[in-house]
Structure 1
Amino acid sequence: MKKMTRRQFIVNGSALLAAMMSGCRKTVSDLAGMKETEEAVKRVPVRPTRDKPNLLFVFFDDAGYGDFGAYGNRQIKTPVIDQIAQYGVKFTQMYAAAPVCSPSRAALLTGRYAQRVGIPDVLGPDAKTGIGKTEKTLATYLKDQGYVSNMIGKWHLGSLPPFFPTKHGFDRFYGVLYSNDMEPFDLYENEAMVQANVDKTKLAEWYSNEAIRFIETNKDRPFFVYLAHNYPHDPQMPPREFAGKSEGGKYGDSLESADFYLGKIIETLKKNGILDNTIIMVSSDHGPGRLGSTGGLRGRKFDVYEGGIRVPLVAQWNTVIPPGTVSGEVSSLMDIVPTIVSLAGGTVDSSRVDGKNMFPLLQGQGSSPHEELYFYYRNSLNAVRSGQWKLHIAKGTQGDKTGMPELYDLAADPGEKTNLASRHPELVQALTAKIRSFDQNMKR
């Protein structure tokens, strides 16, 4: 009998479980408003064509939980992203690790709370700090497994040469160093500035073209493309050919243009016969700014209320993720690192990495790998999610305790409207103790 690889064992085992569960109806609470029941289309997965899947991770800047059609938006048209959800999985309780840009990105790429990485707040053009040389990014882990990686778009983890993507596992960098509301706004290729004061209306097209060139060049080896858009962050400057086309104004124009160009990248994967062995993921770094939709959730960017930290995530992996899957399990963007590294054949140090392997959730199986998730704003630990409960003990960067504590049952009250703290004093006490213990360990 031919010996199976570790990757084949995972996939075949998941296939058997899916077959056993075939025909079962799964009720999923959308938690962003109305509750809905969706039956995932069950299809027994088959082994991908290669043991190491490619990864295309698309990251939006300030897109809200309710900004995509798959999450209920009827003004902004995102047919490509919606089709990814249709062909794969949609997460309804996915969390960013922070309600602002740099710490969220640090956590995504390292699988660690940003406070451990030393990036608790947004890094500006004049920042002298950035991601440390001892940090391992997803690109670094994948390099160890034979991958080639390209960071395209917004980096925002340090603007000095020691902090560039090419110093942290990426073989190539084509993009900008921080948000498009910061100056100077220059375009870089690897470690050289190639265009000063870049035309922001061109970025969606240029980023797409860079991704397509990279994929076609590396189609015969495993690759990781991290495409981090500047859209729809203020100021919105969509491509001219999309201006005025969306019912969602410039904000919608920006998202719709990025969705269109994502379709071009997927066409490239299909044309080269590697779509079925490519994991495609689309998400956002945190909740929306002054514009955009939270899907009815409370709060926005800068808040650790649900509207500031719950984000959309859709993923497609043909022949592995059953189409039409919906996961209502509590998950974190920090989970991306251990999940992808495991699928690539590697391992992470679980004592160092806070994220958990969420591969079963991609297939609509299993339960949340987290007992608790903690939410900081800068260095103030303001809230914890534990099962259906969410406890807030402070607000803002300084940990304002006015009106605290606030306890919400998110299963019944996703909008965080009814404070139940006075009804459950023992639960408040227990969760507060967990917060204090976690924060003390974090600051050691």
Structure 2
Amino acid sequence: MYTIFHFYSVGGYMSGSHAMTRRKMIELSAATLLTLTPLSTISCGKRLKSVDTDIDADIYQERESIKCADVISIKEKKETLPNIILILTDDMGYGDIGCYGNKAINTSHIDKMAREGMRFTDFYCASPLCSPSRAGILTGRYPLRCGITFPLQPGKDTFMRKIVKELGYIFGALGVVDLHGAKNLVNGLPHSEITIAQALKLCNYATCAIGKWHLGDFVVDESYHPHNYGFDKFVGFNASNDDWPVSFFKDKKMIIQDIGLGQQQYTELFTQEAVQFINANRDKPFFLYLAHKDPHQPCFPSKRFEGSTKAGPHGDTVAEVDWSVGQILQCLKKNKIDTKTLVIFTSDNGPWFDGSTGGLRGRKGESYEGGFRVPMIAWWHGVIKEGIVCDQPAINIDFFPTICNIAGLTLPKDRIIDGKDLMPLLTGKSKQSPHDALYFFHYKEIEGIRSGKWKYIRYNNTRGWPVPLDKPDTFFGSAAGGHDYVPPGSNEKVPTLASWPVLYDMQYDKSESYNVIKRHPDIAKKLHEKLITFEKQFYANIRGWK
């Protein structure tokens, strides 16, 4: 029996009313090929892993909401509690900012923030995708502990879209598209998780989330509203700006049911809301989570910034975010609270179609640096010294334990927090990363590890066709086995395509251009063993309960 699969090329977004959405991408991402495949021959080889990653979704329902006061305590009462502002951009590349080498976009305010604070050169996200990265940021845990491995889709889908998604997962198992293991295990952030905002409420912080939520469609299920995760105030979207219909909310009131393509005003609006929140709470501690929609595609710069850069609409929205950062810092100085406010600026993951990786390999969705390495700047007058460049590896799940420490809170005693406290690095008391190793998750699997200057990847997926034919665990990869060469008189196969695993020296090769595994087999072996040990421990207790 033969099944005919029709594939359509997906090169990017179209303009106007035909703009390409992520859901349309998923529907059409089995792309660029017409092929006849006998169903009887479809078989996937063994994944390159040491554990079973077929996870029972029921483990994410085993606990109800947790009262923070039952698991977190105040270890140190502070006379003055610092304010916390976390500015998160969407799909901003490592090289999209001037202080990270960009020459096409004027980011004078962010550059000044870097000069007045600490700029990290080797900072990573917990996932190279939107929703999982945000889950990691707010909980301090690798996103798989929360059951979020892929951008959360809108709660309402047509029957045909549901069918197409399921076909996408089947194609992923074949190696046609990279959706193998992409299916989320939850519909939103589990209520058994504890967010930064919920922890800070124990110290009577005023809390506010502005911008993109994307941690559960609260239009369909109100339990996923930010109010239920410790935020007093919310202004923003339920989902990503391309997951139409996207609704605009002020707290629980829906202001616009579908923002459509009229998105030019929201960066300014979000900034105004942020400034108002700061002004209203300048005399008490506050936590502001400002999650811009920019520069996620499709990009909608306001008229003021349209054409202001040499980097197209993507660059124009980056420039507008830069303006927003300037407004926030100016507001802090005007209110004379810059010496008691920590401001963190970062991106959720690397760039998608447009955007600069700064010469890093790969893009959003990949375990290469271009997907995982993001800009990060920490600014706090009088606490963080000016003009410091930190080259130590760190990750966005470190924000949770860092902020808990700043507020004098213990970490939750009932769960594993994967992140580490960055305050010793930020204050100069330590020159070393708090991590022995960082791990690179791709959906439900761990693909790589970084320890010190070394990065080891045992297997790397991509998000779309063509999936490289050097992956023997896929149908097409196994069919390409004929590319291996067997020397005369030898039984050893020599791959003529790239081979796995790979080892990179990140000190000299941040672009991951040179595989040096044959020169350093001892280092590769050590990293592989470390990865396997962590993997077995992690999957034995995925939720991380103590």
TM-score range normalised by the length of the shorter chain: 0.7 to 0.9
Count of aligned positions: 399
Residue 308 in structure 1 maps to residue 366 in structure 2: no
Find the aligned partners of 1:397 and 1:442 in 2 and give their Cα distance: 24
Q: Which residue of 1 aligns with 2:407?
A: 344
Paired residues for 1:37-436 under 5 Å: 51-126=80-155, 129-159=187-217, 160-198=221-259, 199-349=262-412, 352-364=416-428, 365-396=430-461, 400=471, 403-436=499-532
SS of 2:122's partner is strand
Find the aligned partners of 1:171 and 1:124 in 2 and give their Cα distance: 25
Deviation at 1:190, TM superposition (A): 1.7
Find the aligned partners of 1:283 and 1:63 in 2 and give their Cα distance: 8
Letter in 2 for 1:186: S
Letter in 2 for 1:373: L
Deviation at 1:347, TM superposition (A): 1.5
Residue-by-residue CA offset, 1:67-95 (whole Å, 9 max, x unaligned): 11111111111111111101111000111
Residue-by-residue CA offset, 1:110-152 (whole Å, 9 max, x unaligned): 0000001111111011276111111000101111111111010
- Contact 1:51–1:344, Cα closer than 8 Å, also in 2: no
Deviation at 1:285, TM superposition (A): 0.6
Question: Which 5+ residue runs of structure 2 have no aligned equivalent?
Answer: 1-74, 157-185, 473-497, 541-546
- Contact 1:378–1:397, Cα closer than 8 Å, also in 2: no
Deviation at 1:168, TM superposition (A): 0.7
Find the aligned partners of 2:131 and 2:449 in 1 and give their Cα distance: 20
Residue-by-residue CA offset, 1:50-76 (whole Å, 9 max, x unaligned): 621101111000001111111111111
SS of 1:423's partner is coil
Find the aligned partners of 1:422 and 1:166 in 2 and give their Cα distance: 53
Deviation at 1:414, TM superposition (A): 1.1
- Contact 1:336–1:357, Cα closer than 8 Å, also in 2: yes
Deviation at 1:397, TM superposition (A): 7.2
Please provide the CA RMSD for this pair.
1.9
SS of 1:150's partner is strand
SS of 2:289's partner is strand
Find the aligned partners of 2:131 and 2:530 in 1 and give their Cα distance: 26
Q: Which residue of 1 aligns with 2:45?
A: none
Letter in 1 for 2:99: A
Find the aligned partners of 2:307 and 2:513 in 1 and give their Cα distance: 36
Higher radius of gyration, 1 or 2: 2
Letter in 2 for 1:337: F
Find the aligned partners of 1:433 and 1:335 in 2 and give their Cα distance: 24
Deviation at 1:305, TM superposition (A): 0.6
Find the aligned partners of 1:392 and 1:204 in 2 and give their Cα distance: 37
SS of 2:518's partner is helix
Which sits farther off after the overlay, 356-365 or 370-379? 356-365
Letter in 1 for 2:287: F
SS of 1:288's partner is coil
- Contact 2:456–2:502, Cα closer than 8 Å, also in 1: yes
- Contact 2:366–2:462, Cα closer than 8 Å, also in 1: no
- Contact 1:109–1:138, Cα closer than 8 Å, also in 2: yes
Deviation at 1:191, TM superposition (A): 2.3
Deviation at 1:219, TM superposition (A): 1.2
Question: Which 5+ residue runs of structure 1 have no aligned equivalent?
Answer: 9-49
Letter in 1 for 2:457: H
Letter in 1 for 2:306: A
SS of 2:197's partner is helix
Find the aligned partners of 1:432 and 1:126 in 2 and give their Cα distance: 39
Find the aligned partners of 2:84 and 2:290 in 1 and give their Cα distance: 10
Find the aligned partners of 1:370 and 1:290 in 2 and give their Cα distance: 31
Find the aligned partners of 2:447 and 2:329 in 1 and give their Cα distance: 39
SS of 2:375's partner is strand
